[in-house]
Amino acid sequence: MRGPYKVRVAGVVAETADARSFVLEPAAGDREAFRYRPGQFLTLRVPLGPGLARCYSLSSSPHCDEPLKVTVKRAGPGSSWLCDTVAEGDVLEVLRPAGAFTPGSLDADLLLLAAGSGITPVMSIVKSCLAAGTGSLVLVYANRDERSVIFRDELAALAGRHGERLSVVHWLESVQGLPSAAGLTALARPYAGREAFVCGPEPFMDVATGVLAGLGAPRVRLERFTTLEGDPFAAPPHEEPDSEPDGEPAGAAEVEVVLDGETTTLPWPRNRRLLDVLLAAGLDAPYSCREGSCAACACVLVEGEAAMERNQVLDRRDVADGLLLACQALPVSERVRVTYDG
């Protein structure tokens, strides 16, 4: 298994009184592992206790010729440690970029609903679509007050340059109160036919998803900030599969995996999850929670059949499109083919 990786903090930007952006610089030999899609995140080790790790979204865009950047709002112990302690020149331990909160096409018209630090992955999507796509974007962004608006000036500049394609609507609690179903419905209704992306605190997401469901939105993608229960930096458990006399795993399927442009074929024991098989074979497959709740390990099922023991993040349409959580996947058919390369 390759990783975790060490990245140097090349800069720290104070976005608001409670939010910081950290510009990250991987080692020269590791840069290929940090290719990412807009809306993905990094998992960072937090040295405040054994097994403590947190996921933070990338606010940079892979299409804008800019360095890796995560943006963190002070909330719990992990984010407070980052905001209060980490400085330029420090080294952080991270896993490779991952996550499924990404648009299928940068040319699509999108409706984006964000609140607070939920703007972080949405900002990556906005910049990517404007730089490399042709679609129209509507962003509704909720905050306590004007001073708490992360990326306020950058959003204004983007709207100024791309006014025909980007519309930004700010919802300030200090002026309008908490985001309401009636208010969000009025803002979202003209764009209800678009694919929607929602990220923010749980109460905001509950209201927003209810509104979108009521409007019949064709597809809603959610990014929830969850606390990891396990330690994603720990070595995966090693389980010896039952073997036949010739040494081959009993009842093993065959899996062909495409990862970082390379194709590998492996036996896949029916009692072992796909992620553990890939890591044991030395493949640098992305992952984070290993609990079926973050989509960091998602790959695409191209051929064959597999079943997930647990899935708290992929919706029916994701599954219909072939998305598969490798950390929860067991083989059903004799041969399976998956890809991580889009």
Q: What is the pLDDT of residues 111-136, one digit of tens each?
A: 999 999 999 999 999 999 999 999 99
The pLDDT, as a whole number, for residue 212 is 98
Q: Please indicate, yes or no, whether the overall pTM of this predicted structure exceeds 0.75.
A: yes
Q: Which CA distances in Å does 2 have to 93, 259, 281, 288?
A: 13, 13, 10, 14
| Dist CA 322 CA 335 (whole Å) | 15
Contact 85, 73 (CB under 8 A): no
The pLDDT, as a whole number, for residue 268 is 96
Say which residues have a Cβ less than 8 Å from residue 214's Cβ, sequence separation at least 6. Answer: 185
Q: What is the mean pLDDT of residues 234-241?
A: 57
Q: Domains for the chain: give ranges and CATH numbers.
A: 5-94 (2.40.30.10), 110-223 (3.40.50.80), 253-339 (3.10.20.30)
Q: Please determine, for residue 1, whether its predicted confidence score (pLDDT) is greater than 50.
A: no
| Dist CA 275 CA 286 (whole Å) | 9
Query: Distance from first CA to last CA of the chain, Å, rounded?
Result: 22
| Dist CA 22 CA 59 (whole Å) | 10
Q: Please determine, for residue 237, whether its predicted confidence score (pLDDT) is greater than 60.
A: no
The pLDDT, as a whole number, for residue 47 is 87
The pLDDT, as a whole number, for residue 225 is 74
Q: Please determine, for residue 22, whether its predicted confidence score (pLDDT) is greater than 50.
A: yes
| Dist CA 328 CA 342 (whole Å) | 20
Q: Which of 203-212, 261-270, 312-321 has the lowest mean pLDDT?
A: 312-321
Mean pLDDT in the chain? 91
The pLDDT, as a whole number, for residue 193 is 96
Q: What is the pLDDT of residues 267-292, one digit of tens each?
A: 999 999 999 999 999 999 988 888 88
Report CA 161 to chain centroid distance, whole Å.
27
The more confident residue out of 241 and 232 is 232
Q: Please determine, for residue 246, whether its predicted confidence score (pLDDT) is greater than 50.
A: no
pLDDT band at 58 (very low <50, low <70, confident <90, very high): very high
Q: Please determine, for residue 218, whether its predicted confidence score (pLDDT) is greater than 80.
A: yes
The more confident residue out of 312 and 56 is 56
Say which residues have a Cβ less than 8 Å from residue 189's Cβ, sequence separation at least 6. Answer: 215
The pLDDT, as a whole number, for residue 313 is 85
Contact 340, 308 (CB under 8 A): no
Q: Please determine, for residue 206, whether its predicted confidence score (pLDDT) is greater than 90.
A: yes
The pLDDT, as a whole number, for residue 235 is 66
Q: What is the mean pLDDT of residues 2-14?
A: 91
The more confident residue out of 252 and 244 is 252
Q: What percent of the chain has pLDDT over 70?
A: 93
